[in-house]
Structure formats: C-alpha cells, structure tokens
Structure 1
Amino acid sequence: MPVPVPVTIEALAERAGELAAMGERRILGLVGAPGAGKSFLAERLAQVLGPDLAVVVPMDGFHLAQEVLVALGREGRKGAADTFDAEGYVALLRRLRAPRARGGQDVDPSLAGVVLAPLFRRDLEEPVGSAVPVRPDVPLVITEGNYLLRGDGAWRDVAGLLDEVWFVAPPEDLRRARLVARHESFGRSPREARERSLGSDELNARQIAATAGAADHVWRLV
C-alpha cells in the first residue's frame, strides 16, 4: 500500500471540478476497501459540484441478486469480486464514456440520451435496476466501488475506462469500526456485524488494498 496523502474534501472537490470542466464526459473512479468512505466521498463531491456537473454511479448496483448468489453457492461471500456482474459494469462504463442523444418517436423525450444505471439498496440487500439517470449533458460521472483496479477477468477493463482513479485509505481501525457500525445499522447483531467485518469483508479488504499501487492517487481524508 502506498503511503496515503492527507487531503481535504474541499481540495478533492476542486480537482473533481477541473475534470468536469474539461469539455467532454469524464469518469472519476473512487476505490477502497469496505468501510473506507467511498460512498460518502462520492456523494459529497457530487453535492459540492451540483447535479448539472456530477452524478454518482456506484459499482454496487452490479451485485448479483440474492437468488443468483444462493444458486451459485456464493451467498456467504457476498461482496467478493465474483459476486458482481463485472461484465455488466464494464458495459455501462462504455456507454457512459460516449453519451449520445437518442431520439425517435418511440423514445420518451425526457429520457432521450439518458443512461439508466442500477443502484444497490442496502436496506433490501438487493440491486435495483434503472435507478440512477445519467443525463448526456452531465460532464462528470463519479463511480465508486471495491474492484475498479482489479486485474483479472472483466475487471481488467475497468481502469482503462476511467480518467482518474483515487484510492481512499483511512486508518484501518477507523475503517473496521465504520464497517461494524454499518452492518449493525442494517439489522445485524453486534456479534454478526463483527464476524462479517473481520471475516469475508476483511479477506476482500486485503485483496483490494493490494491494488492501491495502480491508483493515480491514494488519499486519506482529513
């Protein structure tokens, strides 16, 4: 893991604004282990820039549905790289890189050129399709997830579709504490939350940390 550089959200928002001002669609990737604060940072950046400049498209929308995980025998490893539709995520990024207005009499004018991305509902523990509209005139897409820098399977195509990738690396004790609290907030008992955080989540976190060297920047929010 490269040494994280301390940085403020304000400084990162300024850089994200520069990406948004480059004249054509840019995609910024935020990657990090579970509990790193990727979702928080993505939403704050989008909030600072505003909806005309930025939209958040989470990788988590490509979680395999619980029914599929059960059929594959992977429900106990939910969150691992092979519990996502990586090819679907890559296909979406390719669409987002080259937004084109689409018209025709069979197209709702309000959706012309809009790309509809999926979203993961933590309260349901399921993905929901077509939940995030991305208008063709929005210049910056912020996508966040665990495996943006993974180098095998369909994941290897992700980094080449991103203009910049930032690895979010808080102190490990803080990251784990956030993760336990998140699991508890969605109904797990303290024991279940800790077992999940220090079990399958920790195995995934180690794999994700090993990809940090491929990021353009490794940040620690201050």
Structure 2
Amino acid sequence: MGAPAPQPPYEALLERARALTTGPRRVLGLTGPPGAGKSTLAARLVADLGPRRAVLVPMDGFHLANRVLDALGRRDRKGAPDTFDASGYVALLRRLRPGAEDGAEDGAEDVVHAPEFRRDLDEPVGSALPVPREVPLVVTEGNYLLLREGPWAALEGLLDETWYVAPDERLRIERLVARHEEFGRTPEQARAWALGSDGANAAVVAASAHRADLLVDPG
C-alpha cells in the first residue's frame, strides 16, 4: 500500500463501502488512535448500508477479561496491544472471510457469533454479535488493524480495505476524556488516562498509518 490520500466527505465514504457489498463477502477495517471516532463512523456506515448489506464486528470484543489482566499485571495498561486476544481476533476474521484459509468453503457457517465489548461492564461479552452468512460486508474497527508485530501480523491479507481515521488531535483528546468520565473516572483520572496509557497506544497506532488504503478525517 502507498501513502494514503485524504478522503472527501462522508457520502463518498459510504459509496466506497457500498461498492464492497457486491460479490463475495469482504471485510472493511477502520483503524486509528483511541478516540479517533472509529466506532461512530463504523456504526454510521453499517446503519446506512442496512442489515442485509453490512454488519459491525469491533476488535474490542477481544479485550482480555479484567481478571486475566490483573493476573498478568497489565490492568493499568488496558488497551495496549498485549491486552487483547489478538490470535482470537485473527481466527474470527478467518471464519468471516471466505477463502482466508486454504480449503475454506465459502459460507460454511450459516451464522458466526462474534464477541462485543460492553463499556458499562468494562468487559467483553462472548457470542453477542451474530453475522449471518448472507451479509456481504463485515465492518470491523479497532486500534491495531495495521500493526505488524506479534500475533497482529497475521491480520495482513484478511482486510480487503483499511481506512485510517485521523481527527484533529485536540478533539480526539476531548472525546477520550469525556468517554472516561462517562464511565466513572474523575476529570483528573480521565485526563491522566487519555494522555498516559491512551497516549502511548496512540503513538503505536500512528506508526502504522502509512499502511492504510485511505486517510479519513471524520470532522
């Protein structure tokens, strides 16, 4: 992939996504740093395409459970690359994408059930997102879709397109702080997490931006 060029308005993004709904199932990935607006954009695309054309399967469903993070001593870095079940996410995408594995049969499973992350619980919930065989586009979003280290490297070739969402940095931080406050942190704790743990993860994600097919400013 070459260096991505900035992408025009939302309507153009929707049409580009719509073009992926013809033919065999495809997987569209949206990546970017924490607070970039990936989830909002992905949900909007899927809603506008409709349930017969697209389904949303976020990467965040593969967060390790809090008790596992506690046992590993990684709870204070939740959201870092090694706090996810990356291999599980890769395995799911292989199930969802026809031909991703040698000998895989197109649509071998009538429905694949994916996990989701519940922010109100701060935990993943398994088998919460059904993906019917006939839906032609899976939209997935997460921080590390373009990371090429460790088990994340196996994602290469599993995404038909990957868009990098890059908003104004000040707006991104404001969103992160507001999100952390909404789910129970004090303003001071929220800002510290947004600039600390989230900031470190954002730097890792930014280093992968050059691999994207498209650079998106969600506004």
TM-score band, normalised by shorter chain:
over 0.9
% identical equivalent positions: 62
What amino acid does structure 2 have at the position aligned with 1:7?
P
Hey, what does 2:101 align to over in structure 1?
A: none
Q: 1:194-214: CA deviations, max 9, x gaps?
A: 000000000000110010000
Mind listing any 5+ residue stretches in structure 1 that lack a counterpart?
Answer: 103-112
Match of 1:206 in 2: 203
The one of 194, 201, 206 equivalent to 1:197 is: 194
Equivalent residue in structure 1 for 2:213, among 208, 212, 216? 216
Please name the residue that 1:110 is paired with. Answer: none
Partner Cα separation in structure 2 for residue 4 and residue 172 of structure 1: 18
Is the 8 Å Cα contact of residues 57 and 132 (structure 1) preserved in structure 2? yes
- AA of the residue aligned to 2:143: N
Q: Distance in 1 between matches of 2:191 and 2:129?
A: 31
Deviates more, 1:151-160 or 1:61-70: 151-160
1:51 has 2:51 as partner: yes
Cα separation, 1, equivalents of 2:212 and 2:146: 7
Q: Write out aligned runs for 1:140-159 (5 A).
A: 140-159=137-156
Length, aligned pairs only: 210
CA–CA separation in structure 2 for the residues paired with 1:212 and 1:36: 13
> 1:221: Cα distance to partner?
2.2
- The 1-side partners of 2:176 and 2:4 are apart by 22
User: Which of 106, 113, 120 is 2:117 aligned to?
Assistant: 120
- TM-score under structure 2 length normalisation: 0.93
Q: After the TM superposition, list the runs of 4 or more consecutive aligned residues in structure 1 that deviate by more than 3 angstroms.
A: none
Match of 1:166, SS state, is strand
Within the candidate set 155, 173, 194, 2:170 is matched to 173
The Cα RMSD (Å) is 1.2
Counterpart contact for 2:7–2:214, Cα < 8 Å: no
Asked if structure 2 preserves the Cα contact closer than 8 Å seen for 1:4 and 1:220, the reply is no
Gaps of 5+ in 2: 99-105
Q: Write the mapping of 1:5-44 to structure 2, written as runs, cut at 5 A.
A: 5-21=6-22, 23-44=23-44
- What's the secondary structure of 2:217's corresponding residue? strand
Distance 2:52 2:209 in 1: 30
